[in-house]
Structure 1
């Protein structure tokens, strides 16, 4: 099955043919259109053609270039159009569709706050996409479109079955009851699926907590993925608690609570996983599973421990919680979402700070002490 996305951008098609070609594949078809100069006509076009599309891709600024075929500029923005489409879906005048933002960094940074970003299921920064990134975005677009289509078969009166459909196989797994409660309330309220979709993707799949990604999994097992040819063999052993709910085709995740359970059951009843350093964890895994080609990861220069458990938001390297500074980016989340950390190295150098948005105010004094220590050390 091929999923059909309508891409609306005010630029002439020849200027963005490369982007369209990069995103298209056997399972993903992209149809291009300039925005209609008339707001009412554009809405009419989308309502009348809704059965032919599975999603919409929007540029942020639609009013800068002339629609050559119709001889005028649009008088509205992509964000305005996205808001109207969400409203129409609530009113049952338009089917609920995934909406993707595809725009330049400068446009996004100047024009959006978090409320505006929440209109979109996914944001793609046009000027930062490289050729190697296209397969990643293809999988994400397909996974999002697939979730919206599957959501049509959900029975809103059967909450347990809905949870099973959304979260996949969770039999015999311990799932945080607070997450299940919030998701159940969304189901019972019968909100449009885009609200539930945003919640699952933003608060469950894309934040470490009940689910962890491959970097977090490697950190907790102590393994350096790049240097370990046997990594795939190892994670295949963890397949029974890999997440297979909505969006799993594009976002590889594992149920975090099951990793220590798996360790106790299959690796070592006597040792607690978090109490071991990376080398100790890897040595045990190599011996138990005969995986000679696993290599332990090493700590960052200013860190004190290789008892890794989280991933530094600035460097994407594993760190022990004791070596981490809590970030502002991890504040005000749901209770099952883990605190975000940056390493001492990243905090001092402000590495990739846009990704972690600075430190929690509670860490200010501690950082000052660390800065004084390394200042004295350099003298």
Structure 2
């Protein structure tokens, strides 16, 4: 629930020093103004910035263009932003160029809880204390920036050094938050409880409903006043404005008091008013009939959409089952493929062994045949007969 605050209350809050408590929550709705220091870019061109809820979303705010290395843009108008309770946003600083497309100078993802407090005096915050392309955020509690924007090589002590909620060590610099703090009783008060917040919300709702009823009554009074003026203009027997003014008639705009308005609401309608009422009633009946037809068509479409959703859910379930079955088959196929590859490797190995044994067998056979010829030599005689060892 975003409630608008008065200017006096806002100014009072800005004057108080901000305490880096762990429970302090900074939101997008606390952003008031943005200032940039030491903006350096190639070429000439004015600078402006855009704010985004995410890095891929369209900008919800675009500032004006300023030609300065230290631009101080006007206050941010967040009246049309839907998510004022956002804890982070994206800031892009652009350089506007006439002949070419605008160039991005800086892109910064801002998380409001990770900012460094600089105090609430703008005069203490000078460009010489910051690096190039430093951004200063004017929030509801004071001035804030990122820890990477602060310079470490400053000769003199910076004026806002006492306000910085950072701890520097030899290896790193960290942002800290305070868990507890002691304050005088006069500067503290109890916060709202759930019951008070509920009552406050109920009161706001009742005020809104009363404003709505008042608006309806105003529209009704304006409508009846318009019909009366129409009847006064169209009726040939109606008196002139001067006569009506002298006689205290209810048709003059100068006499629209509460008494005359009550009389107008209680009096019976004239002929012209009755015709207008009949015409409006006909239009109302036509609209009611159209609304009824559209309601029936909406119900049919809702039933059809519900059926489509059921089919979609059924298809999704079937696809999931089919997907699981396909994955199981794929795993089985992978296992079978691996087994087949192993069998193929074994078959190749056995084939190589078989070829080796076959070659050894042929070699041994030739050796045995040669030894057999040596033991039992075969000789051919003159009469074409063969003898083994003379036999």
Work out whether the TM-score is over 0.5.
no
TM-score by length of structure 2 reads: 0.21
Q: Which structure: larger Rg?
A: 2
TM-score by length of structure 1 reads: 0.22
